[in-house]
Amino acid sequence: MFLAFIAFFFTIVGTRAEIFTNSFLVKMRQPAERYLADQVAARNGFVNLGPILGSQMEYHFVHKALPHARSKRSAPHMRRLKVDPLVHTAVQQLGFKRVKRGYNTFTTDNIASLYVDKNSPNPANRNPTDPYFQFQWYLKNTGQNGGKPKLDLNVEAAWAQGVTGKNVTTAIMDDGVDYMHPDLKYNYNAKASYDFSSNDPFPYPRYTDDWFNSHGTRCAGEVAAARDNGVCGVGVAYDSKIAGIRMLDQPYMTDLIEANSMGHEPDLIDIYSASWGPTDDGKTVDGPRNATMTAIVRGVNEGRKGLGNIYVWASGDGGEEDDCNCDGYAASMWTVSINSAINDGQNAHYDESCSSTLASTFSNGAKDPNTGVATTDLYGKCTTTHSGTSAAAPEAAGVFALALEANSQLTWRDIQHLTVLTSKRNSLFDAKGRFHWTMNGVGLEFNHLFGYGVLDAGAMVALAKKWKTVPPRYHCEAGSVIEPQKVTSERSFLLKIKTDACAGTEYAVNYLEHVQAVISINATRRGDLELFLTSPMGTRSMILSRRINDDDHRDGFTKWPFMTTHTWGEYPQGTWLLEVSLNSQIPQHGWIREWTLMLHGTREPPYTGLPAADPYSKLAIVKKAHEERSNAMNPANVALCTVSRGYGGRGARGGGGVGGSGVGNSSNNSNSGGVGGVGSGGGGGGGGGGGTGPTHGHVQQTGGGGPGTGGGGPTGTTASPEEVQALQDEQMLHVERPAQQGTWICCVPCYWLRKSKAVHKALLTFAMLLVTSLLVTSPVLFLITTLPEGEQPRDCAPLDEACIRERDGPEGICETKACMEASNRILASMKRGVDPCKDFYQFACGGFRDQQPYQPSSSFNMLQAQIDEHIHNRSKETFETCLEHENRLIAFIPGRLVAEVSVMKP
């Protein structure tokens, strides 16, 4: 059922001019052996190319007399097939374009003759002896060609662990593979290879004068080129096997060719690498058809004997004018979407950005445009100019091959979790400053261009060796907004869905992996649409960016699944916000017809029992966040008060219901309405009203109906323009405090706040501000009044020796009244009752933690840097206030409690 649901989502936006091929999908009335299908095809003038995905019901027929592409259906041939007694249905296949990513026009500089090293390899040399290894900066970056040293895939750390890709096969789905190349032939897996363009078992590239069909051979060399054989370079997983699947070399692609390619030998092939996709022109919206989607889903569920095949996809080469969430292959949660960076850490100019990108590898370098990826080429040649995200995807496939050798029991989801946890930010950055690194709700850093960072082969292999398979995955349809709403370019429009993430049902999701916003929307100009999805933990993802080349005004998006990985590991319960806007200088408008929120993840914490040796690693950070969440959600440890900032706090979940009422029985109090309880006879009752929220703007929530055994989940509501402004002004913060002795006291003010009128709450707020001010100013007044007479702070005269004097000792060290006063202020503001060595996160040096809220999952280094900067700024301001004068130069040195002051003689 779910498979059909997902396949329907990928109904693509049709083109105005349909192309019909000479291929037909023929469904038999009952299961039929291959020889029976051959007979049916022959007596009707067709050729049977074989079953679809091994089925005995569906076959791929071709009519040789028909042209490969025509503008009209061949009705007579379909009628002839349909009257055959063994045929149930016959569907002529549409043709569509699929393009290679990163293809460079052929020049004589692109290739080099095969080089054979006559000297035997030196076994003591840690580096491969292959002549082109020196150009493979993405494997070992020493700064060659202007690159940044150590900005690479860290494959040497994986190789040092004895992992080189043995017993793993990667299929290159492309225009063929030169399997006779000296650097590839010994790692070629012929049994797992096939040519679906010509329908034979020999996927050798078709010859062209411009070497147009060198693409697949170049990708293959990145994965599995042999080591120390004196030929070209070395592959990421140089002991792994490659399979060639030729499927990209015909005038038009069909759903059947794609499906058979992605479902070919799923138990022999571990990884499928695809460096192609829909046209990257900034106006195409396209993705896999039904048969292809079925093949991918079957692969991840049944391939590798149930562990799941890994599908690696190049994110796209459309640059900033395109968005890879409009590519249904790269944006699929079943694939691993890989972007690229260049050798100095910048994104490549052709890189697309989107929220579905999981990680990045490398493509052509920055300083020298001709310094691309060194790999194999056609006819025994080598090249250094392979480029585009086409080059990035095979590198990722090679890293995954290393991980699968380290642990052959990894599932397809394990690979994605390992990718998130071991990828590094390193030195990656957006060259145009559009997208910055952001931390999600559980402390994971991501970037809209690079995903979770550059793959680290050494770290992935090390973690794979001790990995424990993640818990089962569940799919929760969290809610829908189905009332059509008009959107204009004058202001943003906000929709919201409040959900308990299917809690209490068999589909409950507590820890997120992928999130899909399935949206139907159209506009007078589709390219001006921008969509943002904000999670209950405050993570904001741009799920669709503006595409200036897309001027569609008719098709829009129909049930298109915009996917984000940015909320990985977060808790989905709460309110999800969808912001819709039209970014245009010219007035535009549109209609959002439907939004369905799909949550995918686990019910149990995914990393329980997995040791985290490094306390500052991503694994440790996420585990800590999950443990804190689990402890906070334990009824024995949750206090009776929920605190919120900006929005009304999350309501208590109903514990059970009768019939359709769903009366909640939880004892938690809150300042917002709860979700209706589970009804035994149907949907639970509606939750309470929205929270009042403190002084900042808030979004009032309408309680959703609780899920019941008979159905009926929460439904979404729309937000007013005032709520849109509130969202921009303030982010939601939900805090659940561990229980302490006597926490029943907290219930009293919470109850009073809900029952009191606005004037009472205003008076209480004023009183609290007054008390806080007194508490802050009293210690300062006390210090001033207790200072010895004549030593109160004062303004310095230009040459007042009483204020500034040089000490009798090392020159330049200040020991004046002003310095002493500043030091006293700093020391007085420090809380000395807590040992910073024992509990750093509770150390409020300089009152920093009281003034600067931070996430519990923040890294040690980030927090320490913020505190240091806070202290330095306070000290600097204090000294400059007292010592500011044109004849005095103040040199503030971070790390000291005194300043060095030199007096400039007139």
Provide the pLDDT confidence category of residue 639 given band limits of 50, 70 and 90. Answer: very low
**pLDDT for residue 714 is more than 50:** no
- Residue 500 Ramachandran class (φ > 0 left, ψ -120 to 50 alpha, else beta): alpha
CA distance 247 to 314: 16
Res 367: pLDDT: 63
> Cβ distance 222 to 395 under 8 Å?
yes
With a CB cutoff of 8 Å and minimum separation 6, the contacts of 280 are: 99, 101, 316, 317, 318, 319, 322, 352
CA distance 257 to 288: 11
Mean pLDDT of 609-628: 93
Nearest alpha carbon to residue 821 among 850, 847, 795: 795
Res 74: pLDDT: 85
Provide the pLDDT confidence category of residue 874 given band limits of 50, 70 and 90. Answer: low
Nearest alpha carbon to residue 521 among 451, 589, 621: 589
Q: Is 70 helix (H, G, I), strand (E, B) or coil?
A: strand
Res 834: pLDDT: 55
Partners of 164 in beta bridges: none
**pLDDT for residue 481 is more than 50:** yes
Catalytic residue among 174, 175, 323, 456: 174
CA distance 504 to 573: 12
Provide the pLDDT confidence category of residue 775 given band limits of 50, 70 and 90. Answer: confident
Token code pair at residue 728: 């921009």
The torsion angles phi and psi of 519, rounded to 5 degrees, stand at -125, 140
Crossing angle of helices 457-465/389-406, nearest 10°?
30
Per residue in 553-578, pLDDT (tens digit) is 999 999 999 999 999 999 999 999 99
What number of CA atoms fall less than 13 Å from residue 332's CA on the CB side?
25
Determine the residue type at 536. Answer: P
Lowest mean pLDDT among 181-195, 786-800, 821-835: 786-800
Q: Decide which of 643 and 322 is more confident.
A: 322
> Cβ distance 461 to 161 under 8 Å?
yes
Res 276: pLDDT: 96
Catalytic residue among 63, 77, 181, 215: 215
Mean pLDDT of 735-745: 34
Provide the pLDDT confidence category of residue 234 given band limits of 50, 70 and 90. Answer: very high
Res 315: pLDDT: 97
Most confident of 124-133, 307-316, 823-832: 307-316
Strand segments, DSSP code E, in 290-414 are 310-314, 335-341, 359-362, 373-376, 382-386
CA distance 317 to 101: 6
> Cβ distance 696 to 648 under 8 Å?
no
The torsion angles phi and psi of 817, rounded to 5 degrees, stand at -65, -40
Q: Decide which of 759 and 572 is more confident.
A: 572
Provide the pLDDT confidence category of residue 73 given band limits of 50, 70 and 90. Answer: confident
End-to-end alpha carbon distance in the chain: 86
Lowest mean pLDDT among 222-236, 238-252, 445-459, 633-647: 633-647
CA distance 807 to 900: 11
Q: Decide which of 492 and 874 is more confident.
A: 492
Mean pLDDT of 56-67: 93
Record: fold of 473-611: Jelly Rolls (2.60.120)
Res 760: pLDDT: 62
Q: What are the extents of the domains in the chain?
A: 15-96, 131-465, 473-611
**pLDDT for residue 589 is more than 90:** yes
Strand 717-718 and strand 473-481: the pairing is: unpaired
What number of CA atoms fall less than 13 Å from residue 721's CA on the CB side?
5
With a CB cutoff of 8 Å and minimum separation 6, the contacts of 845 are: 830, 831, 836, 867, 871
CA distance 567 to 705: 25
Output the DSSP codes for 144-202: GGGPPTT-S--HHHHHTTT-S-TT-EEEEEES---TT-TTTGGGB-STT-EETTTTBS-
Where b means 16+ CB within 10 Å and e means fewer, 680-695 reads: eebbbbbbbebbbbbe
CATH 3.40.50.200 assigned to 131-465: yes
> Cβ distance 182 to 231 under 8 Å?
yes
Does 280 qualify as catalytic in the annotation?
no
Per residue in 317-326, pLDDT (tens digit) is 999 999 999 9
CA distance 248 to 254: 10
What CATH architecture does domain 15-96 belong to? 2-Layer Sandwich (3.30)
Provide the pLDDT confidence category of residue 70 given band limits of 50, 70 and 90. Answer: confident
With a CB cutoff of 8 Å and minimum separation 6, the contacts of 24 are: 46, 60, 61, 62, 63, 77, 78, 81, 90, 91, 92, 93
**pLDDT for residue 165 is more than 70:** yes
Q: Is the sign of the CA dihedral 524, 525, 528, 529 positive or negative? A: positive
Provide the pLDDT confidence category of residue 369 given band limits of 50, 70 and 90. Answer: low
Does 680 qualify as catalytic in the annotation?
no
Determine the residue type at 641. Answer: C
Mean pLDDT of 765-780: 75
> Cβ distance 339 to 450 under 8 Å?
yes
What is the residue whose two structure tokens read 């806007």?
Answer: 581
> Cβ distance 330 to 338 under 8 Å?
no
Q: What percent of the chain has pLDDT over 70?
A: 67
Query: To 5 degrees, how large is the angle CA 267–CA 269–CA 270?
Result: 95
**pLDDT for residue 642 is more than 50:** no
Q: Decide which of 838 and 163 is more confident.
A: 163
Crossing angle of helices 860-883/817-828, nearest 10°?
150
With a CB cutoff of 8 Å and minimum separation 6, the contacts of 424 are: 453, 454, 456, 459
CA distance 450 to 318: 15
Mean pLDDT of 99-120: 52
> Cβ distance 225 to 235 under 8 Å?
yes
> Cβ distance 196 to 257 under 8 Å?
yes
The CB-based long-range contact list for 683-687 (8 Å cut-off, 24+ gap) reads: 683/707, 683/708, 683/710, 683/711, 683/712, 683/713, 684/654, 684/657, 684/660, 684/708, 684/712, 685/654, 685/657, 685/660, 685/661, 687/498, 687/651, 687/654
CA distance 760 to 749: 12
Catalytic residue among 390, 492, 535, 857: 390
Q: What percent of the chain has pLDDT over 90?
A: 60
Mean pLDDT of 675-687: 34
Token code pair at residue 821: 């006063």
Which helix H or strand E contains 419, and what residues bound it? helix 412-422
Res 634: pLDDT: 66
Res 119: pLDDT: 44
CA distance 865 to 829: 18
CA distances in angstroms from 196 to 81, 105, 245, listed in the order given: 23, 25, 7
Mean pLDDT of 564-593: 97
Q: Is 549 helix (H, G, I), strand (E, B) or coil?
A: coil
**pLDDT for residue 692 is more than 70:** no
Determine the residue type at 326. Answer: C
Question: Could you tell me how far CA 753 lies from the centroid of its own chain?
Answer: 40
- Is pTM beyond 0.75? Reply is no
What number of CA atoms fall less than 13 Å from residue 777's CA on the CB side?
6
Where b means 16+ CB within 10 Å and e means fewer, 496-530 reads: bbbbbbbbbbebbbbbbbbbbbbbbbbbbbbbbbb
Average pLDDT value over all residues in the chain:
78
Provide the pLDDT confidence category of residue 719 given band limits of 50, 70 and 90. Answer: very low
Res 779: pLDDT: 72
Res 462: pLDDT: 98
Q: Decide which of 114 and 873 is more confident.
A: 873
Per residue in 4-41, pLDDT (tens digit) is 444 444 444 444 578 999 999 999 999 999 999 999 99
Q: Decide which of 700 and 231 is more confident.
A: 231
Per residue in 386-424, pLDDT (tens digit) is 999 999 999 999 999 999 999 999 999 999 999 999 999
Does 423 qualify as catalytic in the annotation?
no
Partners of 383 in beta bridges: 375
The CB-based long-range contact list for 30-38 (8 Å cut-off, 24+ gap) reads: 30/57, 30/86, 31/56, 31/57, 32/56, 32/57, 32/86, 36/86
CA distance 138 to 234: 11
Mean pLDDT of 761-789: 70
Res 832: pLDDT: 58
Mean pLDDT of 578-599: 96
Lowest mean pLDDT among 230-244, 787-801, 811-825: 787-801
Determine the residue type at 890. Answer: I
